[in-house]
Amino acid sequence: MSLGDQFDNIIVNTDNYKHCHYSLYPPGTEYISSYIESRGGQFPVTMFVGLQAFIRDYLMRPVTVEDVDEAEYLMREQGMHFNRDNWMNLINDHGGYLPVEIEAIPEGTVVPTNNVLVQLINTDPKYYWVTSFFETALLRAVWYPTTIGTLSWLCKQVIRTALERTSDNPGALRHMLHDYGARGVSSQQSAALGGMAHLVNFSQSDTTPGILAAKRWYNAVAPSNSGPNSEHAGFTAWGRAFEVDAIRNMLETYRDYGFALVLTDTYDHEHCVKKILGGELKELIRNFPGMVGARPDSGDVVQVTSDTIEWLMDAFGYEVNSKGFKILPPFIRVVQGDGVTGESLREIFIEMERRGLAADNAVFGMGGGLLQHVNRDTNNFAQKANAVCVNGEWRDIAKQPTGASFKRSKAGRLALILEDGEYKTVPRDSVSPEQNLLKPVFRNGKLLKKWDFSEVIAASEAPVPQEWYGDYIAPMLTEPAPAPVGAAVN
């Protein structure tokens, strides 16, 4: 459903209780600094992305009197305290724009967890409460796309590792993981932000909102490729006895596109691959002007991927690459989009290598496992206050709970530096502004830095030490499988 303009009101895009917090600070409070970090979790790193989308969509829109009226009615209806003067004064003093400065690391940057990603502070001492007021919206805008981008980036390292070990085609990397997550995600906005984050790492997607998001908020040019793909409704409509005709119709209809993905599990996957693709339609596929993808959509994802590759090799032959692994002819591949996760992707490649199959025999898609199976605690994101100025005196502040040591926050204004190849979060006043990788991106309603999607991609592809993600790919780092016996088979 469309949420409508009401949901763009930053005064209600928060937790209700935020409206009573301004009065809880010490008398004389002038400035509040806070920061965002991943406190560590399932992933060892974060690929930072998504802040610019939030800034452009929400913070560059001024608060209006109508917004204040709407929020006041809503809060008082629920029995929550509401200070109308705070917001009316903000409109009169700052034209409705939040008097806050946000600084962040470059979008697309990959850093180990437990490092500062974003830091913000109010710019007018009269509005010290602003920094924490929109925490709910800001943190959500950072944790979700960053978590999806990080998951996608780690999958990219899995695929990169597999290609390096068994393939002669490293250039296939950005084309090997497709986003099928639009229907498995919780909302269109989630599809937009998560789908956009995935496109930083890969150029393949069927999630249209993600493509639009990359273009709208980051000036992306042609960020994605796709092509004719099938669904079971179209194939079952022909009836089981005419499955071969359904597939033939697709191949003939879309031959000029140079690409066609054919579902093979509508009834009996093995029969379809061996008897239809590798039998009745063998010559049609061999002469297809492009690539045909055989798409198993059920079964044991690890075994069925390698099984399907081998059945296709029985029908269409294979070559042996320079690393000694078998590779299908370029007109046929397996497309595996069912049950793919970061963990199962590793297992698929391990099994392919064990059988002597090159990694580029298959391309992959992820759905809910990419865009939906995460939450804020996947990598324990938090925004916490780290410094306060009261009556002209700055104090370093931090949360230090005894019941959960990982929730201890960082005290004092922060900087992020890169020293000897290692990112470090350090006190802001311990380094020069030039050393600090946190740079102002927003101040008082103005966008100070606009990231182009190409810049975000370039930052994400900067080399990083393998040790940062070594545990994630460790199961793959065994001795390479023995080279297959024999040369090319046609």
| Whether residue 413 sits in one domain with residue 335 | no
Angle at 347 between CA 46 and CA 184, to 5 degrees: 60
Asked whether residue 22 falls in the same domain as residue 125, the answer is yes
Structure tokens at 337: 């989009």
Same domain, 327 and 205: yes
- The CATH code of the domain that includes 61 is 3.20.140.10
Token representation of residue 57: 């969509």
Whether the pLDDT of residue 4 is over 90: the answer is no
Which DSSP string corresponds to 234-281?
HHHTT-GGGHHHHHHHHHHHTGGGTEEEEE--SS-HHHIIIIIIIIIT
pLDDT in tens, 410-425: 999 999 999 999 999 9
Name the amino acid, one letter, at 253: T
368 is in an annotated binding site: yes
The total number of structural domains that make up the chain: 2
The answer as to whether 479 is a domain residue is no
The whole-angstrom separation of Cα 293 and Cα 217 is 33
Residues 349 and 448 in one domain: no
Do 76 and 172 belong together in one domain?
no
Torsion angle of C-alpha atoms 328, 334, 340, 343, degrees rounded to 10: -10
238 is a domain residue: yes
Known binding residue 93? Answer is no
Q: State the pLDDT confidence band at 221, using cuts at 50, 70 and 90.
A: very high
* 76 in a known ligand binding site: no
* 21 in a labelled binding site: no
180 and 135: one domain?
Answer: no
- The answer to whether residue 485 sits within a structural domain is no
120 located within any domain: yes
Question: Do the annotations mark residue 337 as ligand-binding?
Answer: yes
> Residues 205, 250: one domain?
yes
The CA-based angle 5-8-11, given to 5 degrees, is 125
Q: Considering the domain boundaries, does residue 155 fall inside one?
A: no
Instruction: Write out pLDDT tens, residues 428-445.
Output: 999 999 999 999 999 999
pLDDT band at 194 (very low <50, low <70, confident <90, very high): very high
The CA-to-CA distance between both ends of the chain, in Å, stands at: 53
For the cut 70, the answer to whether the pLDDT of residue 485 exceeds it is no
The last residue of one of the domains, among 349, 371, 393, is 371
54 and 202 assigned to the same domain: no
CATH of the domain at 355: 3.20.20.70
Q: What is the pTM of this model?
A: 0.95
Residues 420 and 448 in one domain: yes
CA 415 distance to own-chain centroid = 25
The sign of the dihedral angle between the CA atoms of 343, 344, 345, 347 is positive
DSSP letter for each residue of 412-463 = S-EEEEEETTEEEEEEGGGS-TTT---EEEEETTEE-----HHHHHHHHTS-
Look at residue 58 and tell me if it is in a domain.
yes
Rounded mean pLDDT of the chain?
94
Query: What backbone torsions phi and psi does residue 262 show, to the nearest 5 degrees?
Result: -110, 120
User: Is 429 annotated for ligand binding?
Assistant: no
Q: Is 240 annotated as a binding residue?
A: no
Q: Within this chain, do residues 396 and 426 fall inside the same structural domain, yes or no?
A: yes
In a domain, 206, yes or no: yes
Residue 476: inside a domain: no
Of 337, 371, 405, the one marking the end of a domain is 371
Is pLDDT above 80 for 145? yes
- Residue 434 belongs to what domain range? 5-146+378-464
- Annotated ligand binding at 376? The verdict is yes
Summarised one tens digit per residue, pLDDT across range 35-80 is 999 999 999 999 999 999 999 999 999 999 999 999 999 999 989 9
pLDDT at 5: 73
Residues 135, 193: one domain?
no
- The pLDDT of residue 484 is above 70: no
Q: 22 with 107, same domain? A: yes
